[in-house]
């Protein structure tokens, strides 16, 4: 079979596993510690966004952007991450979304490469805990790219590293910022979630397990 696509770049949080609750709880606790209240609606604005940018958004939301030095902000972001790590260290293969392993197997059968294009610096740890290390050809290190999502850098880095042409790449994302990143990279964008929210995606499925390769090839 002649495949149109040679590389799938998957976002991690919300696409292959559910960590948004843990991110939310960790931010909520940190925010509480500095007298800020956040809710789930606001949390939507943090999805796909880097750790330090998430903190900036929380501080801006509470009109406290100028209350902390850069060093203090780093300390707050680190504190949130320690909290978050404690929660995800309990993750096992059971936390992998339904259908992901089958999808990976199908992609491998078709000789299509698999990359993780996550904004998370915890991606290598999660990939190991989820037991999919051997399925992944490359994990983008977000610290090695200039700009986070919605800039295209993370997706472009995966294509460049694996030597695949942009026109042969598919990105899979659950966040608005992520879909924007895939589209600005010039790639085909698969959205996971609500089609009204992810209206810039080329195709949207409710859940990762709903992806049908026949639709895409
Ligand atoms: O703090 P981490 O694990 O490096 O993650 C950075 C970002 O990674 C994204 O995948 C999450 O959707 C964001 O919520 C998170 O802030
Ligand atoms: Mg995500």
Does the annotation flag 184 for ligand binding? no
pTM of the shown model: 0.93
| pLDDT 10s digits, 69-113 | 999 999 999 999 999 999 999 999 999 999 999 999 999 999 999
From 23, 117, 154, the mutation candidate for ligand 1 (largest count of ligand atoms within 8 A of CB) is 23
The per-residue pLDDT for range 147-165, each reduced to its tens digit, is 999 999 999 999 999 999 9
Percentage of the chain lying above the pLDDT 90 cut:
93
Kindly state the average pLDDT of the residues 48-62. Answer: 94
Residues 6+ away with beta carbon under 8 Å from 11: 48, 116, 117, 118, 171, 172, 173, 174, 175, 178
102 is annotated as an active-site residue: no
- Cβ-based neighbours of 124, under 8 Å, separated by 6 or more: 139
Helix, strand or coil, per DSSP, at residue 118: coil
Residue where the block lists tokens 């949390």:
43
- Please identify which residue in the block is written with the tokens 């501080």: 59
Average pLDDT over residues 168-181: 96
Neighbours of ion ligand 2 (CB under 5 A): 11, 13-14, 48, 174-175
- CB of 205 within 8 A of CB of 211? yes
- The tokens 């209350």 sit on which residue? 67
Mutate to test the pocket of ligand 1, among 26, 51, 117 (most ligand atoms within 8 A of CB): 51
CB 29 within 8 A of CB 192: no
Local confidence band at 209 (pLDDT 50, 70, 90 cut-offs): very high
Which residues lie with the beta carbon below 6 Å from any ligand 1 atom? 12-13, 23, 46-51, 54, 81, 118-122
Report whether pLDDT(48) > 60. yes
The pLDDT value recorded for residue 114 is 98
Distance 122 CA to ligand 1 centre (A): 8
**168 labelled as ligand-binding?**
no
Nearest to 17 by CA among 94, 86, 106: 94
CATH class as words, domain 20-88: mainly alpha
Residue bearing the CA closest to ligand 1, atom 8: 120
pLDDT reported for residue 2? 62
Indicate which residue of 11, 39, 105, 215 is catalytic: 11
154 in Cβ contact with 140 (< 8 Å): yes
Annotation-wise, does 20 bind a ligand?
Answer: no
Is 20-88 in the same CATH topology as 7-17+93-216?
A: no
State percent of the chain over pLDDT 70. Answer: 99
Ligand 1: which atom is nearest the Cα of residue 13?
Answer: 10
Q: What is the mean pLDDT of residues 131-157?
A: 96
Q: Which of 58, 51, 49, 43 shows the shortest CA–CA distance to 75?
A: 51
Q: Which residues pair with 27 in a beta bridge?
A: none
Confidence of residue 186 (pLDDT cuts 50, 70, 90): very high
135 is catalytic: no
Distance between CA atoms of residues 120 and 62, nearest Å: 24
Centre of ligand 1 from the C-alpha of residue 71, in Å: 20
Is residue 4 part of an annotated ligand binding site? no
- Rounded to a whole number of angstroms, the CA Rg of the chain reads 17
Does the structure show a pLDDT above 80 at 1? no
**Domain map of the chain by residue range?**
7-17+93-216, 20-88
CATH of domain 7-17+93-216: 3.40.50.1000
Arithmetic mean of pLDDT, 110-138: 97
Report the pLDDT value the prediction gives residue 198, as an integer from 0 to 100. 94
Task: State residue 123 phi and psi, 5-degree precision.
Answer: -55, -45
Q: Which two tokens stand for residue 188?
A: 């085909």
**Each residue of 17-44: pLDDT tens digit?**
999 899 999 999 999 999 999 999 999 8
């Amino acid at each position: 079979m002649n495949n149109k696509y040679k590389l799938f770049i998957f976002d991690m949080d919300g696409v292959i596993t559910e960590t948004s609750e843990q991110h939310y709880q960790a931010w909520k606790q940190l925010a509480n510690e500095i007298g800020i209240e956040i809710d789930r609606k606001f949390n939507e604005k943090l999805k796909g966004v880097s750790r330090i940018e998430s903190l900036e958004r929380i501080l801006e939301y509470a009109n406290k952007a100028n209350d902390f030095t850069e060093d203090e902000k780093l300390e707050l972001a680190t504190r949130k991450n320690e909290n978050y790590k404690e929660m995800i260290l309990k993750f096992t293969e059971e936390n992998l979304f339904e259908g992901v392993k089958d999808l990976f197997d199908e992609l491998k059968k078709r000789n299509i490469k698999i990359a993780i294009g996550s904004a998370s610096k915890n991606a290598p740890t999660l990939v190991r805990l989820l037991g999919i290390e051997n399925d992944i050809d490359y994990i983008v290190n977000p610290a090695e790219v200039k700009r986070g999502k919605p800039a295209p850098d993370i997706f472009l880095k995966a294509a460049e590293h694996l030597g695949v042409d942009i026109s042969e790449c598919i990105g899979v994302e659950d966040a608005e910022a992520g879909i924007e990143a895939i589209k600005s990279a010039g790639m085909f964008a698969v959205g996971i979630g609500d089609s009204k929210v992810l209206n810039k995606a080329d195709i949207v499925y409710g859940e990762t397990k709903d992806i049908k390769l026949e639709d895409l090839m």
